[in-house]
Amino acid sequence: MDTARELFDTLESFKMPDTKGRTPQHQLLDYCQQVLGTVERYYFDYKTKSDPLDPKLSESDRKNLGKGVSGFANSKGGVLIWGIEDGTLAPKPISDVGIFVASLLQLGPLATDPPVPQIDGFWIPSDSGKNEGFGFIYVPESSLPPHRVALAIKDIQNHYFFRSGQDFIIAPHAQLEDWFGRRPHPVLSLITKLKTGGRMSGSAIVRVILGIKNSGRGVAKYPFLSVNVNLPYRISASGIDGKLTLGLPQLSGGPGQCDGSYGASVTRVIHPGIEHEVTSLEGKIQLSARPVDVPDLVIKYIIMAEGVRPVEGEKTVPGTELLAAA
């Protein structure tokens, strides 16, 4: 179990009076003073409610949450402890604390882009007995940093934070490069598969299925393929299965032409290790032709996906292979 989660679970154990008769508030304050007061504050941070009498989230509360979610997720995870004054450790319990924590948990997944999964929270009562208490929000370390603040709040929106000592710091450019460099990326390439399209009067139709292969570790979103081929080869009207099916929606060009482009929304992705067929080419070959007389198929292509550089290339399928497949 990670350090931040262990801390969160320990704090949650204070929800009920202990065997010594100490109240939840008493246990919490003792722990903050005697244990947390002796360790580095890398994994936790104290926050006070801007107005402890109003459980609704103010802009200041939302700002603290946004920085906390981004900063802890981009670091090693952590716990936001609400209702204790930083420095003095004086209790500042929050009215209707259950409503307050529920609001934090509702906003948490919306606080950053991309969202941080598995944010958790709870609250414990204060000694006042007036429906007041202290809130706790657990933010796990992200497996896919960085997370930028998405909340429309001045000074923090679109910034990437990380935990440094007892502060949340805006990440410098070098840190962002490191984060993005560690992300798993798709690695895309063109695949070709030869198929016969039938014979007639001493000739044969040869079909070449085109697709995108993802040999990387990341998911390819918004996949796109553009192709251009030489005559006598053209985009086939049969699709990839002979039934007009295409692997991606057609954007331009098409059957009977020498070029075409295909792309999709984020709902269509290519997972790691997958070969995704997109479209097909076809050409008519005379079965009596000498291998040297069958033109090579030259495919110029561009492959793109979100977050990766375009892959441009040229692939040649020798005429001898096309004749053999006829």
CATH 2.60.40.10 domain span(s) along the chain: 188-325
Helix, coil or strand: residue 28: helix
Distance from C-alpha of 210 to C-alpha of 276, rounded to nearest angstrom: 9
CB 248 within 8 A of CB 264: yes
How much is the pLDDT for 197? 65
How much is the pLDDT for 266? 67
CATH 3.30.950.30 domain span(s) along the chain: 3-182
How distant is the alpha carbon of residue 249 from its chain centre?
24
- Is this model's pTM higher than 0.75 or not? no
Is 70 exceeded by the pLDDT of residue 1? no
Q: Which class is domain 188-325?
A: mainly beta
Distance from C-alpha of 113 to C-alpha of 122, rounded to nearest angstrom: 24
How distant is the alpha carbon of residue 196 from its chain centre?
41
How much is the pLDDT for 174? 79
DSSP one-letter string for 224-280: EEEEEE-TT-EE-SSBTTSSSB-SS-EEEE-TTSSEEEEE--TTSEE-TT-EEEEEE
Rounded mean pLDDT of 103-131?
94
Confidence of residue 304 (pLDDT cuts 50, 70, 90): very high
Residues 93-111 have pLDDT tens digits of 999 999 999 999 999 999 9
Residues 23-81 have pLDDT tens digits of 999 999 999 999 998 888 999 999 999 999 999 999 999 999 999 999 999 999 999 99
CB within 8 Å of 264: residues ≥ 6 apart: 222, 223, 224, 248, 249
Q: Which fold has domain 3-182?
A: 3.30.950
Mean pLDDT, the chain, whole residue set = 91
